[in-house]
Amino acid sequence: MERLKQQYRELLEQYLASQDEKVLYFAQQFSRKFIEQEVAPEDLVHLHKDAISTLFPEAPEAFKLSYDFLIEMMIHYGLALREHQSMIKKREELQMEIEIAANMQDTLIKTTLPVMEELDIGYVSEPAKKMSGDYIYFTPHSDRKVSVAVADVIGKGIPAALCMSTIKFGMDSLSEEQSSPHDVLSIINRLVEKSIDDSMFISMYYGMYDESTSIFTYGSAGHEPALLYRAATDSFHYLESKGLLLGVKQDVQYEEQQVKLEAGDFIAIMTDGVTEIRTSEGFLDEAIIQSYLRQWKDESAQQMSDQLYHALAQLQDFKLHDDFTVAILKKRTEGLSVGE
């Protein structure tokens, strides 16, 4: 340290004598040595004060006292700066961990749209933050059947995302014989009740469509009712089914309901990030969602999903307050040709 003090004093003396920019450049390079030795800002000010006192012993006392004032200021400044830098570093590390976790979640719960002859399927699932508390999964079955599960964790962030991983594990472990809404919701409920913290609850809507009969069989675990559009009457109806939230208690009976789809009919399954959208004027009337869906009823299921998301996100200035998930199952007016 004594060597640094001497070198600093010499550089300062040279600059005061010449005001040469080359000396300033050397001083800039020299400052790296203080960084390497982790010299605190207040120590650097103290070093400067000693150099000035040596070079100008006749300097006014007030001039010297001003450095004492500056040293005290720099002590607190240095502490605050180090604390701030530490917080920034921790935040960057956390953001990196969240980014990795979000990418892992995307991989874990990624779903593929099944291609059905009579049923057109589309969906949008967008998180409000990095991690999503919504879950959507499609499963093709034998005998021209397809099932869809839409779930929503009551909560957000990493804990909600971890709950979704549990749901995914449970859904993947189901056999073909356990694909009815009653069986699926009962099994997933027992898994959630055993695996998830008591403070976390999950709503879920599960349905299976059978192309051979055009019947949609569905059940709900405390989830938003799906919306059924009847093309023949140009009207909307709620597809409700009683059932307790997943994870509340172990033994729960989930009822099943059925509805038959006709050509042009569609079902919209949504999370509360869609049905309970908040704008500057308050909660959005669900009649507006219905009017949007009616407006786009002749589009494909995917186009309907995309346009609904864009319209509702625009009402929120594209700042989602909650995870947004919608799935649309639409019975085609004509069957899908081979190769489409």
Closest CA to 11 of 2, 25, 1: 25
Which ranges in the chain are annotated with CATH 3.60.40.10? 109-331
State the pLDDT at residue 106: 65
| Token code pair at residue 66 | 């001003």
CATH of domain 109-331: 3.60.40.10
Amino acid symbol at 93: E
Q: Distance between CA atoms of 209 and 140, rounded to whole angstroms?
A: 10
**CA 303, 309, 312, 315 torsion-angle sign:** negative
Model pLDDT for residues 102-129, shown as the tens digit of each residue: 666 566 667 778 889 999 999 998 887 7
Q: Where are the alpha helices (DSSP H) in 37-60?
A: 41-55
pLDDT at 166: 78
Structural fold of domain 2-100: 1.10.1240
Q: Which amino acid is at 267?
A: I
CA distances 94 to 134, 168, 189, Å, are: 22, 25, 32
Q: How far apart are CA 237 and CA 229, in angstroms?
A: 6
pLDDT at 147: 95
Neighbouring-strand partners of residue 140: 146
Q: For the chain, give every residue range classified as CATH 1.10.1240.30.
A: 2-100
Query: What is the per-residue pLDDT for 156?
Result: 61
Whether the predicted model's global pTM rises above the 0.85 cut: no
Average pLDDT across the chain, whole number: 84
21 vs 318: CA distance, rounded Å: 51
Structure tokens at 55: 């070079």
Residues of the chain with pLDDT under 50: 337-340
